[in-house]
Amino acid sequence: MIRAFLVCASLFAAVTGFAQDSVPAPPPAATGSPTAPAPAPRAWNSLSPEQQQLLHNYQGKWDSLPADRQQALAKGSQRWVSMTPQQRAGAQQRFSQWRAMPPEQRQLVRQRYQQYKALPPERQQQVRESFNRFRQMPPERRTQLRQQWRQMTPEQRNRAVQPMRAAPPMRAPPPMHAPSPMRAAPPHR
Q: What is the pLDDT of residues 175-189, one digit of tens each?
A: 444 444 444 444 444
Structure confidence at residue 184 (pLDDT): 43
pTM score of the predicted model: 0.51
More confident residue, 2 or 121: 121
Residue 184 lies in a domain: no
pLDDT at 18 over 50: no
Domain contains 130: yes
Residue 189: inside a domain, yes or no? Answer: no
With respect to residue 180, please indicate whether it lies within any of the assigned structural domains.
no
pLDDT value, residue 60: 92
If one counts the domains in the chain, the total is: 1
Side chain identity, residue 130? S
Could you write out the DSSP letters of every residue in the chain?
-HHHHHHHHHHHHIIIIIIHHHSPPPPGGGGT-TTPPPPPP--GGGS-HHHHHHTGGGGGGGGGS-HHHHHHHHHHHHHHHTS-HHHHHHHHHHHHHHHHS-HHHHHHHHHHHHHHHHS-HHHHHHHHHHHHHHHHS-HHHHHHHHHHHHHS-HHHHHHHHHHHHHPPPP-PPPPPSS--HHHHSPPP-
Does residue 179 lie in a domain region?
no
Q: Which range has highest mean pLDDT (2-6, 99-103, 127-131)?
A: 99-103
In a domain, 174, yes or no: no
What single-letter amino acid sits at 117? K
Range of the domain at 149: 2-26+42-167
Q: How confident is the model at residue 24 (pLDDT cuts 50, 70, 90)?
A: very low
Q: Is residue 36 part of a domain?
A: no
